[in-house]
Amino acid sequence: MSLQPHDRSVQRNAVIRRRRRAILAVTLLMLAVAGPLLARVYETVEVRGAEFISEDDIRATCGALPGVDYAGYELAAIEDCLMLTGAFSRVQVYPNGDAMVIDVEEVDTRPGRIEAALSYVSQDGLVGELSAEKYNLFPGTYGAIRLSFNTDVRMLELNFYKADALGETLDLGLDIVGRDADFGDRSYAERGLRAEPYLAWTPSGGLRLEAGLGWRDYRMTDIAAGASPLLFREATDGISAPYGRVSLVYERSAEEGSDGSRGVLPGYAIRLDQYLWNLGTSEPLSDTRFEIRTRLPLARNYRLLTTLRAGSVSGLNGNATRAIDRHYLGADTFRGFAPRGIGPRDAGDALGGNHYFTGSVEIQRDFGTVLSVPMRAGVFIDAGSNWGLDDTLGGAIDDGWHSRSSVGLSVTIEVANTPVSLYVATPLRQRPGDETQAFGLSFSARF
């Protein structure tokens, strides 16, 4: 019995449907098998070209995470996602060995700003400021100018910085600083100008190494009648010479332990500065400064803060230091004492010291919002000394180590988005002639 035309058409369509289903099943099977094979796991996600936007923010914005499978179309989706933010003029995402590379070119959304400020710190008093900054002042270069002034201090700063100038981790900078200071509690005036080009190496987010070679001109003049005879000996109309600087900075924020425990790793910041002043003259100086700060979260809303500072300046050619070379402690650097309040003195003049050491321990508590104002407060103890002169006028000046200490309370509040810090302190140990200061205040309001 032969098939009718209608029956043959039905049979042919059934065969075609079976073939289509078989092809679809094979295709789905191939995709299921090949999909994971085409996807890759990247051990790191590397961001290139970022200048103003945090690399961590770029990674997190569109989900570019290490240790996750990504297929090619997903890399393209990350490109599209980043471009949709409007922050970039170009984005390329591509594999490079075990790394996913996100290469970006940022839109210059922060061309610059001009700002005025009024600040107060116990060391310098009430200070007015005018500043201006501009990104891409020159191609790829940040530039800033700042003028600070009051009746005692006038300072002009110029800063230029070019990231990745000599490679991915090598930056170039230039600092120019002019300062004219004539404090009412000192018997002389200090004036100086220095310019320093420097190279900065940033191999990781927390580590920074700088090396600079600059020129400084500084002078100590206008010695007041009745001042210490040592100040008359140290007066100079000007020393102009090159200098070198090497600085090392390392920082790490406090974070939870990697083992998932409730403990935390302390945050800390370490800074070491080594200056070699007056190179090529008969009065070369070595000036070393060290600081370490730690922050350890304790129980809920509590933290422990510690600070250690030390420094030493000395002549390298048997030469003596001057008052404008030496270090001074007091006010914000040693709470409970006035600016330049401790250290060797003669005829009522603070002479500074070749060496200094201070340590501070403070326990702070965050109180949240009090009377609609964010507030934290703490209790602290400071201790240290400021000592050492090359010339004691034949032993007439006591320049020995004499420890001092103080205890006090600190409070930080925020008023109209302006942090205001104040403290009340009293000396526990002091020396005759020290100048004390029970109250300290600092803030900076910008307009």
pLDDT in tens, 61-81: 887 888 777 877 778 888 888
pLDDT at residue 433, rounded to an integer? 92
- CATH of residue 61's domain is 3.10.20.310
Residues 26, 47, single domain; the answer is: no
Q: Give the residue-averaged pLDDT of 24-47.
A: 62
Residue-wise pLDDT for 78-106, tens only, equals: 888 888 887 888 898 988 877 889 998 87
Residues 90, 192, single domain; the answer is: no
Radius of gyration over every alpha carbon of the chain, rounded to an integer in angstroms: 32
Q: Which of 106, 138, 161 is the last residue of a domain?
A: 106
Residues 152, 11, single domain; the answer is: no
- What's the number of CA atoms in the CB half-sphere (13 Å) around residue 336? 22
Quickly list DSSP for 244-263: EEEEEEEEE--EE-TTS-S-
pLDDT at residue 262, rounded to an integer? 45
Domains identified in the chain, total number: 3
Residues 150, 31, single domain; the answer is: no
pLDDT at residue 14, rounded to an integer? 62
Residues 128, 172, single domain; the answer is: yes
Give the amino acid at 250: Y
Q: Is the pLDDT of residue 136 over 70?
A: yes
Beta carbons within 10 angstroms of residue 204's beta carbon: 8
Residues 100, 161, single domain; the answer is: no
Instruction: Specify whether the CB–CB gap between 393 and 230 falls below 8 A.
Output: yes
Within 254-301, strands assigned E span 255-256, 264-265, 267-277, 285-297
Residues 342, 384, single domain; the answer is: yes
- What Å distances lie between residue 221 and 188, 322, 351, 417, CA to CA? 6, 12, 15, 41
Residues 31, 62, single domain; the answer is: no
Residues 30, 44, single domain; the answer is: no
Q: 134-143, 202-211, 246-255, 415-424 — which one is most confidently predicted on average? A: 202-211
Give the confidence band of 1 by pLDDT, cuts at 50, 70, 90.
very low
- CATH of residue 290's domain is 2.40.160.50
Cα–Cα distance measured from residue 172 to residue 166, given in angstroms and rounded to the nearest whole number = 8
Residues 45, 29, single domain; the answer is: no
Q: Which of 53, 73, 106 is the last residue of a domain?
A: 106
Residue-wise pLDDT for 203-228, tens only, equals: 987 899 999 999 999 999 999 999 99
Domain hosting residue 221, numbered range: 114-446
Q: Give the residue-averaged pLDDT of 374-399.
A: 96
Cα–Cα distance measured from residue 417 to residue 362, given in angstroms and rounded to the nearest whole number = 24
Q: Which of 67, 88, 106 is the last residue of a domain?
A: 106
Residues 267, 413, single domain; the answer is: yes
Give the residue with greater pLDDT, 13 vs 336: 336
pLDDT at residue 15, rounded to an integer? 56
Residues 346, 401, single domain; the answer is: yes
